[in-house]
Every structure is written in C-alpha cells, then in structure tokens.
Structure 1
Amino acid sequence: MSETIGFLVHDTARLFRRELNERMRHSGVTALQWRLLAYLARNEGTNQVKLAEFLEVEPITLSRMIDRLAESGMLSRRRDPDDRRAWRLYLEAKSLPLIDELRAAATQLAETAQEGLSTAERAQLAELVERMRQNLSRKPSDIAQSEQAA
C-alpha cells in the first residue's frame, strides 16, 4: 500500500461527504449546514464559539450560517444565562425531520462503505479509527506528559 493512513482516512472522509451531499442535495441544506445541525442534535444548547471550533470555520462565517438557518426556522438562538454576550443554539421542530433523514442517509452510506466487511472487521475498524481520533484529540501537553511517563 503506497498511500499513508492520513491520506486514506482523509480521502475516504472526502468521498463520504461528497456522496452524502449528493444524497441530501434535494433538501437545499449545504454540507456545512448539515454538519452544524448534526452537531446540535448531539450537543443542543452549545454556544457559537464551541460550534465554530468544531466546524473549523471563522465566527463570522458561522454567524451568517446560523442567521440563515434561524430565518428558515431550523434553529433558534437563546441568551446564555451565564454570559449575557453569548448565545446558545437550539434545534427547532422544523429541523427534526431533516436530521432524521440525514441520519438514515448516513447509515445507508456507512453500510455501503463497509460492504464486504465482516461484523468483526467492522467492529475492529471502528475501534482502530476511534483510537486514532483519541490520539489526535489529545492536547500537545497531554502527549508530552504521556511520553515523559513512559
């Protein structure tokens, strides 16, 4: 195998996003908006700063996207009770059928992507990729401390 694991993971994720975008094109919601809605479905009440970090977008870009989704009735902003300057984001009922559709499309796509893999191989793949994600999610100070302890 001549490709590095980083290239393979990145390219697979790119192909997955492209196919999911194609399957969801009829919804009129962009891929980045889908990611935002999916994140909120798991982290409702999050603030815009955390969401911008997760989506890896500039705050102004996120603000415009949130404005459009709020105008279309997909989500709402509510004042943060702990910080008058901040807003917390919540899904509205209108977004729930779309999120359900997105989940179903993502599940079907994952099934297609894993065709030919046994149940044990699927479990092992998920475990190994999760371990890689955890390794990369650690802060540099966490990594330095674990290396010093070794």
Structure 2
Amino acid sequence: MNTERVEGLGLLVHDAARLMRRRFEESASGHGLSAAQWRLLVRLVKAEGVAQARLAALLEIEPISVSRLLDRMEEGGWIERRPDPSDRRVRTVFATDKSREAFAEVKGMASDIYDEALAGLSAEERRTLINGLRTLISNLSDGEGAGESCKTAAKEDVS
C-alpha cells in the first residue's frame, strides 16, 4: 500500500471525528454536559442497568474517571445508581427521565450533524463508508469489545 495513503487515512479519520465531535458539542452545549458525559449517557440510554466497571470498559476510560463522571451526573439528576440485586458490591447505573428526554432531543441534533457530514455522498457511498469503518475497527480491535461501536453503527440509518 502507498505510504502517503496510509498517513492520510489516519489524519482523515482523526479530523472527521474531531470536527463531528466539535459540531456535536456546540449543538448539545445547552444541556450542560461534557462530551464524556454525553458518551456515557448514550451508552446508558441504549443499555440501562450497566455496572460501573462495564461502563468504564465500554468508554475506554479508567474506572475512577467513570466514578467521578457518575458522581457529577447523579448530582445533576442525569443518572441513578442502584445496587446490583445479585451482587451488592456492584453498582448498576440507570438513565433518569431527564436524561432520556435530553437524549431524544440531542439524537435529532446528531442526525442533523450526520446529514451535514454525509452531504454529497449517495446512499451507496454512505453504506460503503460505514462498512469500511466497521472493517477498520474490526481489524484493529483485537477482540477487545470494539464490536459495540460497530453494532451501534449498524443500527444507524446512513441513507
């Protein structure tokens, strides 16, 4: 493979992610949550009752960092922590009505951002892009659970 293309790929993927993240943060800033808190919230709304340790693994951040994020989110009424019925040492995390309502609103904003980012691409080109990114993630994941983001992307409407 051409070395120039390989170097360009990393920059393109990084820049695309950075620009989409920035646009999202600008759009969602009115809710007062950081990008990390939004990522956590998205995971919770899609899979409630997740253990704190599992959230840390899904978000690829240290458990202590997740604990601090959850502390702030719990104080703000965004999440609720409950003991796991099968293991009282484990705390599971649930989205609140407040966070579900905000998620529904922000999901529409994210859809608008995706439409803007994908403007000019045909439905076929969009599918090819998504499938290519899934393959890239799968090739690099070494079985470490990156399939979660691929499954999420598979559910997104990219046409």
TM (normalized to structure 1)?
A: 0.86
User: How many residues get paired?
Assistant: 140
1:131 corresponds to 2:121: no
Q: Whole-Å Cα distance in 2 between the matches of residues 43 and 5 of structure 1?
A: 32
CA RMSD of aligned residues (A): 1.6
Q: Whole-Å Cα distance in 1 between the matches of residues 89 and 11 of structure 2?
A: 41
Shift, 1:33, TM fit: 0.5
Percent identity of equivalent pairs: 41
Q: Deviations over 1:49-70 (max 9, x none)?
A: 1111222222222111111111
Distance 1:137 1:43, change over 3 A: farther
1:45 corresponds to 2:46: no
1:102 corresponds to 2:106: yes
1:18 corresponds to 2:22: yes
Where structure 2 has 5 or more consecutive residues not aligned to the other structure, the ranges are: 145-159
Q: Deviations over 1:84-104 (max 9, x none)?
A: 211111111111111012211
1:8 corresponds to 2:17: no
Where structure 1 has 5 or more consecutive residues not aligned to the other structure, the ranges are: 141-150
1:115 corresponds to 2:119: yes
1:81 corresponds to = 85
Question: Which amino acid is the alignment partner of residue 48 of structure 1?
Answer: Q
Please, which of 63, 66, 79 is the counterpart of residue 62 of structure 1?
Answer: 66
Q: Whole-Å Cα distance in 1 between the matches of residues 32 and 143 of structure 2?
A: 37
